[in-house]
Amino acid sequence: MTSGTPARSATERVVLDSSDIARALTRIAHEIIERNNGSAGLVLLGIPTRGADLARRLGERVLQADGRDDPAETLVGTLDITLHRDDLRRHPVRPIEPTTIPASGIDDKVVVLVDDVLFSGRTVRAALDAISDVGRPRAIQLAVLVDRGHRELPIRADYVGKNLPTAAAEHVRVRLAEVDGVDEVAIGRSTGEES
């Protein structure tokens, strides 16, 4: 790894590399277009931090696959969920990230929430609450890079890059070039820091 790239712990193993992630995002983009009969009327909202970067990449692929040369900003935004989380008392204070909505808004649109890992479902529940603060979409769909199971709420993803069954004592780390300097998904033994 290059300097500045976070070190992988000795207990982690890589389950998706950069080419696997790229293929998964391309496949999800085509599935989104097929299910929604194109990209008109779509908005992709990434959940910070890594969900925002994945949404941007996914938006670029959706536009390209649908033959549009619009900039990604016309389709992609971010949705901060910090104030809607149900675990604020148990975790340290988190900085509030900006919520950015494309200029066309989300009213009567199909919103695709984008996140890196689907685990308990609580992040998605918070995102559903946060969406009501910014508009009223026609429908909401969910795209995740990894679904690791262990749901605590009745939530499932519409689009999944990889189903990765895990033990509760394991953690899944998504690393993206924009944040971490490398694209990979690794799995390892939990250190107790994952929510």
Per-residue pLDDT tens for 9-54? Answer: 668 999 999 999 999 999 999 999 999 999 999 999 999 989 999 9
Strands of the sheet with 159-163, listed across from one edge: 76-78, 42-46, 110-118, 139-147, 159-163
Residue 5 lies in a domain: no
Task: Give CA–CA dist 129/123, Å, rounded.
Answer: 10
Query: pTM for this one?
Result: 0.89
Task: Give CA–CA dist 125/110, Å, rounded.
Answer: 17
Cα→Cα distances 81→9, 31, 174, Å: 29, 26, 19
Residue 38 lies in a domain: yes
CATH code of the domain in which 32 resides: 3.40.50.2020
Residue 77 lies in a domain: yes
Residue 173 lies in a domain: no
Total domains in the chain come to: 1
Torsion of CA 117, 123, 124, 125, to 10 degrees: 160
- What is the predicted pLDDT for the residue at 168? 86
Per-residue pLDDT tens for 78-103? Answer: 999 988 876 666 666 667 788 999 99
Residue 103 lies in a domain: yes
Please give the residue range of the domain that contains residue 113: 20-167
Residue 62 lies in a domain: yes
Residue 182 lies in a domain: no
The more confidently predicted of residues 3 and 72 is 72
Residue 181 lies in a domain: no
Look up residue 165 and give its two tokens: 């069954």
Per-residue pLDDT tens for 150-178? Answer: 999 999 999 999 999 999 889 999 999 99
